Structure 1
Amino acid sequence: MDVEATRTILLAVRGPITAADVPQLCDQLAARLRESDATDAVCDVGALGRPTAVTVNALARLQLVARRRGCRIRLSGAGPELLLLLELVGLTEVFRADEPGGGPVETGPDPPPVRRA
């Protein structure tokens, strides 16, 4: 059995995030995933401050970027307000949460494998 090692990158997301910041964050994650060939990304959200709808939008879009590259994304440092907001907008299946403050929060099921040429 050939088991490939997990390669992880860290993306620190600091707040407050504006709508204008979201495309740049997505581009940054896509570039880092391309360059590293990572299979996992940890998104450190501990310095976001008070979460807003823009925060949720940014995280959802980052999740889409990661999944398109066949990568799993986890949240680190997610506070109770952010976890509650994700629940209120119906993203608990996308951003499943462990106990608040209990390490990285894995988001969603494993992505499908990426076919590489």
Structure 2
Amino acid sequence: MISGCPPGLPSVDATTPAVLVLPGPVRPDEVPRLCDDVRALLETTAAGPGAGVVVCDVAALGPGGLGAVDVLARLALAARRAGGRIRLRDPAPGLRDLLALVGLRFEFEGQAEEREPAGGVQEAVETGDPPL
């Protein structure tokens, strides 16, 4: 017995965030359009369960360089200003290392969200506490 396929795409459900595929090396004149694309994707997914997240497929960027870091920083800023965030998909190890080196923290697809460990930060200083 052969059962029919459900309608729609098999790998997409209501919780799948929008995806923006970045083409190979991104020229500086393409950055404003990509930022507009991120904002538009955030607006179209504003009501769904994957709201507030745009997945940026960066596989075509390769190991990247400071140009790729600049593009990703601008996309992240555009997303934050629109009330969302971006998550990176398939970054090359060199690009991951470069992002860490320059101090930019991104969420990567398939990675659990980083949370601050409980009790790791002192919220307030009590009077009488000795200085560190």
- TM normalised by structure 2 equals 0.63
Within the candidate set 17, 24, 29, 1:20 is matched to: 29
Are the counterparts in 2 of residues 95 and 107 from structure 1 also a CA contact under 8 Å?
no
1:36 Cα deviation after fit: 2.8
Stretch deviating more after TM superposition (54-63 or 23-32)? 23-32
Within the candidate set 20, 30, 36, 1:11 is matched to: 20
The share of aligned pairs that are identical, in percent, is: 44
Within the candidate set 42, 45, 49, 1:36 is matched to: 45
Partner residue of 2:99? 86
Q: Which segments of structure 1 move beyond 3 Å, counting only runs of 4 or more?
A: 103-109
Equivalent-residue separation in structure 2 for 1:14 and 1:105 (angstroms): 23
Over 3 Å counting, the alpha-carbon distance change for 1:85 and 1:106 in structure 2 is farther
**Can you give the 5+ residue segments of structure 2 that lack an aligned partner in the other structure?**
1-13, 116-132
Stretch deviating more after TM superposition (30-39 or 16-25)? 30-39
Stretch deviating more after TM superposition (68-77 or 5-14)? 5-14
Are the counterparts in 2 of residues 7 and 40 from structure 1 also a CA contact under 8 Å?
no
Partner residue of 1:95? 106
- TM normalised by structure 1 equals 0.70
Instruction: Kindly name which structure, 1 or 2, has the bigger radius of gyration based on alpha carbons.
Output: 2
1:25 Cα deviation after fit: 0.8
Structure 1 SS opposite 2:20:
strand
Partner residue of 2:80? 67
Over 3 Å counting, the alpha-carbon distance change for 1:95 and 1:8 in structure 2 is same
What is the letter of the counterpart of residue 15 of structure 1?
Answer: G
Over 3 Å counting, the alpha-carbon distance change for 1:106 and 1:86 in structure 2 is farther
Equivalent-residue separation in structure 2 for 1:106 and 1:64 (angstroms): 22
CA RMSD of aligned residues (A): 2.5
Over 3 Å counting, the alpha-carbon distance change for 1:108 and 1:73 in structure 2 is farther
* 1:55 matches 2:64: no
1:106 Cα deviation after fit: 7.4
Partner residue of 2:121? none
